[in-house]
Structure 1
């Protein structure tokens, strides 16, 4: 059942075994998994089923650190959350990402990668992915072409599968509506998390709509599933009973904010300009794959390197084959064209039209090149750029804070202080050096490092992967939640999503978010049955 809180005239009270805050990549699978086990759920979504400007404005805030990011465009406050505009790249984290190492501040996950494999496989169904295969051995004999003959002692391949991408509002709204044990409230924004008389357990959450309607939700267990920024914001705003905010006794909520460093840099000049690189983009009967280069794990450990997967951007001598026109204007135009072609009205129509109007040249270039590609072939390669969403180490000074401004519901707004350390870039530089060494030893070409050495961060952008702000750890002095996602200091309050990641690795976070949500559903159902 779906109920629009704005359609209710008077205050309401709702009860369930589990209250989930946020209907996105974590909240929707969690709710559906619990419903399949017969657990009663109230699912709260701050937005509507579609996009709404006034609701989206609740995400507005300020930037205090590196400013090649944003607080509003990167997230969507609506049913389905940010899955409504994600790109669909998926990979599990690597074994090394779960280990405490000097380069990541000696922080480890409370469990090994193997503990997630079964949940990763189950998450594939939610994301409409093929079989759970992510290693060279698993794909051997199933792919077209040959990989580059690079030294195995230096480099491995990283496999990423492509979701359609799955839009959770399109894929799962009907399932949520039909689920007998789920009540989903839309336009229902949590305004406070209230502890009971004992002071150590959540009794209820208060909820408000922009129309002024209010409600309360009581439950046995509560889960925040609002993303890497909003989870921290809600906890810090819940300061009426604990002045520092919930779960913040050790000043950890909001700290250790991580993103992936989106960089296209360093050029490979191939010794053979007609080298076939088709292996690195594959479409099989079950999967669409993007394959990149990784430093071999043992070498990564020895040299204390952060994780990274470097993908190829081929720069063709024939300009018609190049994709350098793909800016926000082109992406907005492409989204509009595809949606109209399906006979639908696009979300964020005015915003996308404005993007196109601000940079019409890229759209004209893109259209002309697509036409020319129909009558020409790629031909010779000029050079190959490396692009990546590189790992950065958790840093306590990189954080989500609250400022003095308040939104339409009375909550203090966010300040994001995203810090990038010199050590993050030095690790990436050394990674590129190893890639260059591998190409040289194999006689395949030479690499020119293109990473900044002077502290200039202007070429480093957000990957929109917000992680780490309520991280998990067995020790409450080092993490906000334990290995089950349960808050150390409020035992019936759980956190889902990428805010619990202790490290970021080099994998896009959505697959891990869904896998952890499924794992949490199993845990909650088991504990509720006791």
Structure 2
């Protein structure tokens, strides 16, 4: 069932076995998995079925740290959540990402990659991916090109899969609407969490609309699945019974915010005759779209004290018509609108995107022309020069954080300030990673590298990938994390967090696959506990 809280049809009190707040990939996956196991679910969405300026404004906030980031338009407050922005690149986190490391005392999860593998395999279908295979050996027999002959003790070839990308609103709206065990209420923003007097048990939550309608939700178990920024904002705003906010007794909620640093700077120049076709673009193998990159051996990462990183090769052609340097905000706005209209939908932020496009018509025209030329005159041979592009990992940093500011939204909740810390140390680790890749390419006689990150790094090189992670991090020790290994808030008996806010480390894989994986795992736990 899907209904609208603004309609006035909602009862004063709604009940179910589990209340899930948020209809992004985490919330929808969790609701469907729980319903399949016979649980009744109250599913709340703060926005509507499509983009709305009024609902989206609730995400507005401040940026006080590294400013190559956005807190409002990088996420979507509507059914399907930020899957409406998602580009579709998928890989599981590496075993290394879960390990405790001597060089990083706060690194490591309380669960292992091996424990998550069965749930990763189940998550593939939610995201319309191929089989749960992410090793080059799994695909080499069906790939049309060979990997570069690099020393695997230093650098190996890395495999990602590409989702269409799956838009959860499009794929799952009807399934949610027709599922009798799910009550989904639109325009129902969580505004308060009430504990039973003198206890650590949630008694109810309050959901409100922007026009003042309100309902109370009672369940055995509650899950907040509103994204890496909003999860922290909600907990910090629930101060009526706990002055510091729910789960924030040790000032950890909002801390350890991490993102992926999107950087494209270092250049690799391959010798003539080197076949780089495997890395030049995405490709289809046995019905699955793949993107291939380069990654350091995990033992080397640990011994050198580096962060994790997958580097993709972006071709740089002598003929400008084959290069993608036109891909700025105007082109992104144009291509996003074109893709959305082609699916029969009106693009979100239409007026803003239209202005971005018209303000930069020259680049849009360049992009249209180059794509047209490429359609009938593709490159004769692969490029020899490539830029390394990556969404690079950051080291866990408690000073990188989300806090509340005095400005309040129309529902009365304090807005957030995001202090995203990008450090010279993070960039120097990426520089050393590039040096290892360059040395491996040189040792194999394949080419040479020109480093794009200096010994005194320019922090302006780093842009946010909008992968908001870590603000309610998972840890067995409540002194080091907000939730436990089952994603339960340490200090609240029946309140759980879902999504990328629970990540202890960010790794270098895009988070959506792991978000869905953890939601399936949480559903298994709640099916017994709830």
TM-score higher than 0.5:
yes
Asked if residue 442 in structure 1 is aligned to residue 444 in structure 2, the reply is: yes
- Please state whether the residue corresponding to 1:26 is helix, strand or coil: helix
Q: For the residues of structure 2 that align with 1:288 and 1:192, how far apart are their CA atoms?
A: 43
Aligned partners of 2:278 and 2:292 also within 8 Å? no
Using the TM superposition, give the Cα deviation of residue 279 of structure 1 relative to its aligned residue in structure 2, in angstroms: 4.9
- Please state whether the residue corresponding to 2:25 is helix, strand or coil: coil
Tell me what 2:162 maps to. 162
Asked if residue 292 in structure 1 is aligned to residue 293 in structure 2, the reply is: yes
Q: For the residues of structure 2 that align with 1:342 and 1:292, how far apart are their CA atoms?
A: 30
Q: For the residues of structure 2 that align with 1:158 and 1:253, how far apart are their CA atoms?
A: 34
Tell me what 2:350 maps to. 349
Q: For the residues of structure 2 that align with 1:54 and 1:115, how far apart are their CA atoms?
A: 41
1:33-58: CA deviation from partner (whole Å, max 9, x where unpaired): 00001101000100000000010000
Tell me what 2:24 maps to. 24
Q: For the residues of structure 2 that align with 1:268 and 1:108, how far apart are their CA atoms?
A: 32
Tell me what 1:458 maps to. 460
Using the TM superposition, give the Cα deviation of residue 363 of structure 1 relative to its aligned residue in structure 2, in angstroms: 0.4
1:244-294: CA deviation from partner (whole Å, max 9, x where unpaired): 000011110000000000000110111117744235532123210001100
Tell me what 1:470 maps to. 472
> Which residues of 2 match residues 17-56 of structure 1 at below 5 A?
17-56=17-56
Q: For the residues of structure 2 that align with 1:252 and 1:241, how far apart are their CA atoms?
A: 18
Asked if residue 228 in structure 1 is aligned to residue 249 in structure 2, the reply is: no
- Name the stretch that deviates more: 461-470 or 96-105: 96-105
- Please state whether the residue corresponding to 1:310 is helix, strand or coil: strand
Q: For the residues of structure 2 that align with 1:158 and 1:274, how far apart are their CA atoms?
A: 19
- Name the stretch that deviates more: 405-414 or 8-17: 8-17
Asked if residue 76 in structure 1 is aligned to residue 76 in structure 2, the reply is: yes
1:157-209: CA deviation from partner (whole Å, max 9, x where unpaired): 22110000000000001010111110001100000111112331111111110
- Name the stretch that deviates more: 32-41 or 324-333: 324-333
Using the TM superposition, give the Cα deviation of residue 527 of structure 1 relative to its aligned residue in structure 2, in angstroms: 1.5
Pair 106,412 (structure 1): closer, same or farther in 2 beyond 3 Å: closer
- Please state whether the residue corresponding to 1:374 is helix, strand or coil: helix
Q: Calculate the TM-score normalised by the size of structure 2.
A: 0.97
Using the TM superposition, give the Cα deviation of residue 303 of structure 1 relative to its aligned residue in structure 2, in angstroms: 1.1
Tell me what 1:118 maps to. 118
Using the TM superposition, give the Cα deviation of residue 101 of structure 1 relative to its aligned residue in structure 2, in angstroms: 1.4
Pair 426,208 (structure 1): closer, same or farther in 2 beyond 3 Å: same
Using the TM superposition, give the Cα deviation of residue 422 of structure 1 relative to its aligned residue in structure 2, in angstroms: 1.9
* Gapped regions of structure 2 (runs ≥ 5): none
Q: For the residues of structure 2 that align with 1:12 and 1:68, how far apart are their CA atoms?
A: 43
Tell me what 1:417 maps to. 419
Match of 1:500 among 492, 502, 512: 502
Q: For the residues of structure 2 that align with 1:426 and 1:103, how far apart are their CA atoms?
A: 15
**Alignment root-mean-square deviation, CA:** 1.5
Tell me what 2:333 maps to. 332
Match of 2:435 among 433, 436, 444: 433
> Which residues of 2 match residues 138-177 of structure 1 at below 5 A?
138-177=138-177
1:6-28: CA deviation from partner (whole Å, max 9, x where unpaired): 11178721011100010001000
Q: For the residues of structure 1 that align with 2:328 and 2:112, how far apart are their CA atoms?
A: 39
Aligned partners of 1:204 and 1:217 also within 8 Å? yes
- Please state whether the residue corresponding to 2:461 is helix, strand or coil: coil
Q: For the residues of structure 1 that align with 2:526 and 2:345, how far apart are their CA atoms?
A: 39
Asked if residue 486 in structure 1 is aligned to residue 482 in structure 2, the reply is: no
Aligned partners of 2:46 and 2:187 also within 8 Å? yes
- Please state whether the residue corresponding to 1:119 is helix, strand or coil: helix
* Gapped regions of structure 1 (runs ≥ 5): none
> Which residues of 2 match residues 194-273 of structure 1 at below 5 A?
194-272=194-272
Using the TM superposition, give the Cα deviation of residue 453 of structure 1 relative to its aligned residue in structure 2, in angstroms: 3.7
Q: Calculate the TM-score normalised by the size of structure 1.
A: 0.97
Aligned partners of 2:311 and 2:390 also within 8 Å? yes
Match of 1:525 among 521, 524, 527: 527
Aligned partners of 1:268 and 1:384 also within 8 Å? yes
1:310-357: CA deviation from partner (whole Å, max 9, x where unpaired): 000000111111111112211221222233344443333222211101
Tell me what 2:399 maps to. 397
1:453-493: CA deviation from partner (whole Å, max 9, x where unpaired): 43532121000101111001111111111100011100100
Tell me what 2:132 maps to. 132
- Please state whether the residue corresponding to 1:451 is helix, strand or coil: coil
Q: For the residues of structure 2 that align with 1:102 and 1:272, how far apart are their CA atoms?
A: 43
Using the TM superposition, give the Cα deviation of residue 219 of structure 1 relative to its aligned residue in structure 2, in angstroms: 0.8
Q: For the residues of structure 2 that align with 1:358 and 1:82, how far apart are their CA atoms?
A: 26
Using the TM superposition, give the Cα deviation of residue 156 of structure 1 relative to its aligned residue in structure 2, in angstroms: 1.4
Q: For the residues of structure 1 that align with 2:182 and 2:92, how far apart are their CA atoms?
A: 29
Aligned partners of 1:103 and 1:393 also within 8 Å? no
- Please state whether the residue corresponding to 2:218 is helix, strand or coil: strand
Aligned partners of 1:268 and 1:385 also within 8 Å? yes
- The size of the alignment, in residue pairs, is 528
> Which residues of 2 match residues 78-93 of structure 1 at below 5 A?
78-93=78-93
